[in-house]
Amino acid sequence: MSTIREEREMLEKRMLADWATFSQASDGRENDEPQCDIRTCFQRDIDRITHSKAFRRLKHKTQVFLQPEGDHYRTRLTHTLEVARIGRTIARALNLNEDLAEAIALGHDLGHTPFGHAGERALNVILSEEGGFRHNEQSLRVVETLERDGAGLNLTYEVRDGILCHTGEKQPETPEGSVVRLADRIAYLNHDVDDAIRAGILRESDIPAEIICAFGGKHSERINTLICDVISESGKNKKVALSSSASLAFNAFYEFMFKNVYMNMKAKREETKVFGLLNRIFEHYVKNPDMLPDDYRRNVRKDGIRQAVCYYVAGMTDKYAVFVYNELFVPEAWKVV
């Protein structure tokens, strides 16, 4: 009798498009292990990611706005869930492998720093002599060598490729990876508009007419328009992409957000404090490596003290980074009880 997993793999061959990534044809894991009787390899990767410590920390990591007042601003976790839903919707419509798309989406930001992109820019400066810091590379490092006390999650090649290539110059090797690369941009541009309006940085009337004309005036309309465009364009040529007209408008959308939100002084006024906080924590642990947790001290021998400290600091949540700073540098009598 065939297992549930084998039945699912046979179902994929009947249902998925010929350009999809089939679970049975995966390039496998770095360390071979017995197959699960119930779950395909990509389903197992979803479970490993969602049960990881790095995934749980995402709920306390900033998306754009530092220490926002209010319960409805996005965090790195809610962003990740939005990317996963958009990715699955596109993958299903194109008859691609939804499980692979979801696994990549859930893992793509596991290596993001505390304090969002402000933290990433800070670590990039701090590590400039070592080649800088990029969160996609750190996300891959998390699943390969940092989780499970250094053993990593032993994910499939396709998921690791999608995590690494969700941003940057290198393109994913699978169409599902390309789906997530686009889903990430669709999610963050649209929810960042939503959060910027909530924060009083933007008004609905500030959104350029060309963007409203191209994608719609509401959050849900813009996401729906972009998803439909990707599905329509990708279904024609078996290559995941926006149409040329939507791509032009989408680039204009990004430029508008970069100028008016991502570089807005009100949104970024705390960034110098972020650099000072992370830089001071970083230098403290470089000078005092014995204070690192055991699982990060192991990385000192392999990658050097500065990289090992970087891994530790990058894994912190916003609140934990502030807590560590207070413990290290704020006199007890001055701490707020």
Q: Would you say residue 172 lies in a domain?
A: yes
Of 18-32, 52-66, 190-204, give the range with the top mean pLDDT: 18-32
Whether the predicted pLDDT of 336 surpasses 60:
no
Whether the predicted pLDDT of 70 surpasses 80:
no
* Predicted TM-score (pTM) of this structure: 0.95
Q: Would you say residue 301 lies in a domain?
A: no
Q: Would you say residue 336 lies in a domain?
A: no
Number of structural domains found in the chain:
1
SS3 297: helix
> For 101-150, what is each residue's pLDDT tens digit?
999 999 999 999 999 888 999 999 999 999 999 999 999 999 999 999 99
Residue 66: per-residue pLDDT: 56
Whether the predicted pLDDT of 100 surpasses 60:
yes
Residue 109: per-residue pLDDT: 97
> For 207-261, what is each residue's pLDDT tens digit?
999 999 999 999 999 999 999 999 999 988 899 999 999 999 999 999 999 999 8
Residue 126: per-residue pLDDT: 97
Q: Would you say residue 186 lies in a domain?
A: yes
Residue 74: per-residue pLDDT: 79
Average pLDDT of the residues of the chain: 93
Sign of CA dihedral 1, 24, 136, 131: positive
Residue 186: per-residue pLDDT: 97
Question: Domain limits at 184?
Answer: 4-110+143-276
Question: What is the band of 67 on the pLDDT scale with cuts at 50, 70, 90?
Answer: low
According to DSSP, the residues that pair with 62 across neighbouring strands are 75
CATH code for position 171: 1.10.3210.10
Q: Would you say residue 177 lies in a domain?
A: yes
Mean pLDDT of the region 12-24: 97
Q: What is the DSSP letter of 156?
A: B
Cβ atoms within 10 Å of 165's Cβ, excluding its own = 22
Q: Would you say residue 72 lies in a domain?
A: yes
Q: Which residues contact 94 (CB under 8 A, 6 or more apart)?
A: 17, 20, 175, 179, 231, 234, 235, 240
Q: Which residues contact 337 (CB under 8 A, 6 or more apart)?
A: none
Q: Would you say residue 124 lies in a domain?
A: no
Whether the predicted pLDDT of 319 surpasses 80:
yes
Mean pLDDT of the region 148-157: 96
Residue 82: per-residue pLDDT: 96
**Closest-CA residue to 256 (of 216, 196, 199, 198):** 196
Angle between helices 76-93 and 98-107 (to 10 degrees): 160
SS3 327: helix
Mean pLDDT of the region 62-75: 66
Q: What is the DSSP letter of 201?
A: S
**Closest-CA residue to 239 (of 174, 163, 184):** 174
Residue 117: per-residue pLDDT: 85
Q: Would you say residue 324 lies in a domain?
A: no
Residue 73: per-residue pLDDT: 72
